[in-house]
Amino acid sequence: MRRLPCPAGLFLFVAASVVSPGSAAGFVAGADFSHLAFFESLGVIYRRAGQPQDGLAILKEQGLNCVRLRLFTSSAAQAQADPYNYVNNLDYTLPLARRVKNAGLGFMLDFHYSDTWADPGHQRKPAAWASLTFPQLLEQVRQYNSNSIATFREAGVMPDYVQVGNEITGGLLWPDGQVGGANDTAAQWSKLAQLLTNAVAGIRDAAGALMPKVVVHIDRGGDWAGTQWFFDHLTQEQVPFDVIGESYYPFWHGSLEDLRSCLSNAAVRYQKPVMVMETAFPWSNWTNIFGIPASPAGQVDYVAELAQVVRGVAGGMGVGVLWWGAEYQAVSGQNLAGFDTKSFFDNGGNVLPVAEAVGELAAPLNVEASMAKGTLALSWPLSGAGSSLTMATNFAQTCSWLTVTDAVQRTGTKYSVTLPIADSSCFFRLQSK
């Protein structure tokens, strides 16, 4: 609590932090950096203020607190023949995870259960698992997860979060765990549930007391009906998990209001925290999206709008945002699907303001105050998105906190409001809506 002297012997008191169960301290402000070592091997350089620097150190300095790394089942031969599409196996990911932890960042592991990319349209079973019967596949999933987690644990890089599959709206390990369409049957949902339950059991086998939070990740951030369809089935099958993860790309998945509805409804219906596992916004080569320009400043504006949605989920149940393809830069001979112009870095490798904006989502929620010419100026970071500024005339337990109705402005990654100095002592704090 900061006390400011005012005219006539009065005082203003400004609280240092938000009153909300979803405080900044537990919020994941992250980035998928899975191809960092791949891009470095092609000569890509990451810069801050024009100076070359380790990409992970840049993330840490910008305030991010977590890095997500995907894990493929690919062989060494596959990874060598086509690195972009197959390199993310254990031999590649383990040393990158060490770098993440050494940089002081949290680590999220994203199991793909495939030799290459797994997504809503592709959940191809690993080649080495193709001939397994369903009972054998169940055991293989458990052993694979257990062995993988044990390897990370023994290396001192235990994940903080683990995804059991990537964008598994249609299931995983097709055709055994496929759901939806012609496979929207009780038998197929039972198979998917068994696979996911065994995947979680494998993590628990190796993690013991260091059990990470388990995320189930689909790609329906703007689609509440699709989200409800999926998670109603999963909860009916009693699959154990901790966090609902959604992909949300504004150029594919609907409006921010659609996202708000989906996340809020999911948090209430399933009583689990929700996280935007993948998002991105262009800094170039795109038209405006929902009125936000495709520019470096537009990326910051997008993060601010996204923050209002995620941090505004009731009860502090919106717990994270991760930027996909944050490490991407254009390289010759690689089709990057345009994500090199949606990343954290420009064509010269310089970090863009969007990185700081994402980092601000987890910034300590300090309210700064200053006075001049009979006015009080208050400011706070993006981690206060979704909160209201309130005031009271005393600090008793039974006091009434009233919402300050003066217009709050945002400049870059900071919110601010200017108020006239009151005629009596005042207390201010941020409070969840």
Q: If residue 216 lies in a helix (H) or strand (E), which one and from where to where?
A: strand 213-218
The helix/strand/coil state of 141 is helix
pLDDT in tens, 265-321: 999 999 999 999 999 999 999 989 999 999 999 999 999 999 999 999 999 999 999
Question: Is 167 labeled as catalytic in the residue annotation?
Answer: yes
Please name the helix (run of DSSP H) or strand (run of DSSP E) that holds residue 161, with its range, or none.
strand 161-164
Residue 23: pLDDT over 70: no
Q: What is the pLDDT of residue 271?
A: 98
C-alpha closest to that of 248 among 220, 229, 274: 220
Q: Are residues 188 and 42 in the same domain?
A: yes
Boundary (domain end) residue, out of 360, 394, 423: 360
Q: For the CA atoms of 220, 222, 224, 225, what is the dihedral angle to 10 degrees? A: -70
Same domain, yes or no, for 353 and 395? no
Pick the last residue of a domain from 303, 328, 360.
360
274 shares its domain with 231: yes
What confidence tens digit (pLDDT) does each residue in 38-59 have? 999 999 999 999 999 999 999 9
Rounded to the nearest angstrom, the gap between the alpha carbon of residue 210 and the centroid of all alpha carbons in its chain is 21
| Domain extent at residue 54 | 26-360
Q: What CATH number is attached to the domain comprising 54?
A: 3.20.20.80
Check whether residue 77 and residue 208 sit in a common domain: yes
- Sequence-distant (≥ 6) Cβ neighbours of residue 282 within 8 angstroms: 251, 289, 294, 298, 299, 338, 341, 342
Residues 353 and 401 in one domain: no
| Contact criterion met (CB below 8 Å) for 404 and 389 | yes
- Of 65, 104, 68, which is closest to residue 88 (Cα–Cα)? 68
Claim to verify: residue 242 and residue 387 sit in the same structural domain = no
Domain count, the chain: 2
Separation in Å, CA 237 to CA 167, 178, 190, 365, 367: 19, 15, 7, 39, 45
Q: Do 350 and 369 fall into the same domain? A: no
Same domain, yes or no, for 58 and 122? yes
Q: What is the CATH number of the domain that holds 382?
A: 2.60.40
User: Are 273 and 416 found together in one domain?
Assistant: no
Give, to the nearest 10 degrees, the angle between helix 296-310 and helix 353-360.
10
Residue 25 pLDDT exceeds 70: no
> Buried (b) or exposed (e) across 1-20, using 16+ Cβ within 10 A?
eeeeebeeeeebbbbebbeb
* pLDDT beyond 90 at 421: no
What are 48's strand-pairing partners? 51
Instruction: Tell me: do 133 and 279 sit in the same domain.
Output: yes
Amino acid at 2: R
pLDDT of residue 11 exceeding 50, the answer is no
Per the DSSP assignment, residues forming a β-bridge with 322 are 30
Write down the catalytic residue from 40, 139, 167, 368.
Answer: 167
**Cis bond upstream, residue 175 (ω within 30):** yes
Q: From 318, 335, 360, give the residue that closes a domain.
A: 360
pLDDT recorded at residue 137: 98
269 in the same domain as 328: yes
Tell me which of 278, 305, 327, 360 is the catalytic residue: 278
Confidence of residue 6 (pLDDT cuts 50, 70, 90): very low
Name the phi and psi angles at 366, rounded to 5: -90, 135
Choice between 396 and 261, residue whose per-residue pLDDT is larger? 261
The answer on pLDDT for 5 being more than 70 is no
Global pTM? Answer: 0.94
Do 290 and 237 reside in the same domain of the chain?
Answer: yes
Q: How confident is the model at residue 396 (pLDDT cuts 50, 70, 90)?
A: confident
- Of the listed ranges 65-79, 130-144, 395-409, the least confidently predicted one is 395-409
